[in-house]
Structure 1
């Protein structure tokens, strides 16, 4: 298993329980990848070291799986945003609409009002901006989506595809829960503790601070690779594009912002949001507080990749690397980096379980394990 994140841990655990000897290697000095958590020694706050990760899913098997290794506490993600000198609730809901337009509309009235604001001349939205203007109108778009999106992606929303804004980002009720999913929560003792327990099996050996080179692939019966797809080949045909994040960490005595996530929608503010980590564990009490100001930028060679860009230039290079990978034997590319797709944690675990079962089936039938078990 190349990578001790969710993909490597879940696949490794499944195969170890079948009797295989599994080696997990990771270049970092800890397990759990970008969902790594650790307690701040000064405040006792559980810190999401690489930015906040909130678990939400409709997949009952995945929910049961993570609860085998960690107690998940109830947690609802309620995001606020500062725009035009006021604090609003996200996602845009009936409270946001009434506050923004200084109104007291009911659901049906608000829906008709927003539809009247929409640009109905746009019949086939091609860009993010066109999609937003078509469905929410210019006022809400410029207040809540334009600036934040420009900072997050580093380009104008006129250059981003409409698919990024997949669904109407408005609710015509007062529900301010950011997610719709049936199961939502946070691991009581952190994600790193959960991943450590997944990896705690006699058949698993974990080697941290260890880099993998594809020249070593032949040393194992099979390699499950969750590192960057282009990195497997030493980036010899170019680098796939990612956005990365910089965090400006600071502390505060008391409660700094009263919520876990405060977005900043205006371009004039350089950070995209401030996260206050003690609010991700509302069952705990801490006087001190640990906060991150979050900045998004293009990922460089030495940076941690977060969000695959997947725009035109990347699509062509991606097809090149995928075609090359599909000729490989004895290696399967998994996870966010291995398949160059943005994945929530529950989807990562689902795909890892399915991948492990696919490998189990190939051993029984003698089929070749494919390089990808999902479309990259």
Structure 2
């Protein structure tokens, strides 16, 4: 079969490789001048630092098959994400752990003592937290919430934390030990030569043709047997029902002669600081040595029509519009919507790859059994 894949990020790279290996003819188009989507990395000409052009991407997973998959195409170096945050002219570790708690409250508590202490700070009248703010007040109390979560969240999402669902904060655990590893997954690391080289290797197959700087039009799919679309779901329909809400990021790049902040990620939790964090990119590849440094200040804001969409908002209004686009999508023939933008969901890289592998296998099974591949392998409304 002749198959068109729109977007050259992780989703379609994996789907394309799996289908090409099964003997199908694959054409991948992307409107940008490079592959790998938002995880694109490139060498900075001035400093030699490997830069995460659209912000840092750190690979972490418990999925053994996904870990083995990416290691087939790139050597992965060990990397532990240790995030710091500057609040009240002090530097603390995140996620909130025993060191953070002891430092913040100027105490020397054991784990059991810290649990009891934090429970005394919590608002136990909140039995079932429904909002981000209620979740924080219930489990860490007002002081830690206002220091580490409130201002950062308002800057990141552009709204008060009482407008956000509690589920967002559930991804940020409190630890009653001194473990400052931001993630808790079994496998963690970075591709030695960057994500673009990883995707390049995945796409290196004689049955795959990649066309860059090519904007997709819906009519382009007519000559193909099937289309996998990883662009914005609303964009496929020319935003005819309105635009789904996203947050976007602005990056203020600067260089420094030496080591600027001593870590890869420094958050700034106070609302008075306009940016959310500073990332120092040479620390994402600690096996390399560079005299100079490249840093990004990150600013979050509402996504305009000409901006790059990063984070789907998925509040009540957006979910109502999403449901309408999903119905339109289900009426399409021989088109499957995939990935972060195609399903309007925030996805970590390992989940993206897992869903792409499963989608490709489902497609091959459909072809074998004479069934039509559905518009979504994963329910965007779930």
State the match for 1:87 in structure 2: 91
Equivalents in 2 of 1:33, 1:115: separation in Å? 43
* 1:144 and 2:148 matched: yes
Tell me the equivalent position of 1:234: 238
> What is aligned with 2:32?
28
Q: CA deviation at 1:354?
A: 0.2
Separation in 2 of the partners of 1:42 and 1:316? 47
> Which of residues 41, 47, 52 is equivalent to 1:37?
41
Mapped pair 1:66 → 2:75: no
- SS of structure 2 residue aligned to 1:166: helix
Q: Does 1:180 align with 2:184?
A: yes
Which runs of structure 2 are paired with 1:1-376 in the superposition (5 Å)? 1-166=5-170, 169-376=173-380
Rounded to whole Å, the distance in 2 between the matches of 1:163 and 1:69 is 34
Kindly indicate whether the alpha-carbon contact (under 8 Å) linking 1:135 and 1:168 is maintained by their aligned counterparts in 2. Answer: no
2: distance between equivalents of 1:164 and 1:78?
Answer: 20
Contact 2:95 2:172 in 1 (8 A): no
Across the aligned residues of Structure 1 and Structure 2, the Cα RMSD in angstroms comes to: 0.7
| TM-score after normalising by structure 2 | 0.98
* Structure-2 separation of matches of 1:312 and 1:198: 38
Large movers: runs of 4+ above 3 Å: none
Question: 2-side partners of 1:354 and 1:159: how far apart?
Answer: 34
Shift of 1:160: 1.0
Question: d(CA) in 2 for partners of 1:161 and 1:62?
Answer: 30
Match of 2:6, SS state, is coil
Alpha-carbon offset, residue 168 of structure 1: 6.1
Partner of 1:24: helix, strand, or coil?
Answer: strand
Q: TM-score, normalised by structure 1?
A: 0.99
Unaligned runs of 5+ in 2: none
Q: 2:217 & 2:112 partners in 1: Cα distance?
A: 59
Query: Partner of 1:224: helix, strand, or coil?
Result: strand
CA contact (8 A) 1:247 1:295 kept: yes
Q: In 1, distance between residues paired with 2:170 and 2:133?
A: 12
Offset of residue 169 of structure 1 = 2.5
In 1, distance between residues paired with 2:214 and 2:7? 10
Cα shift at 1:191? 0.2
In structure 2, distance between residues paired with 1:127 and 1:190: 37
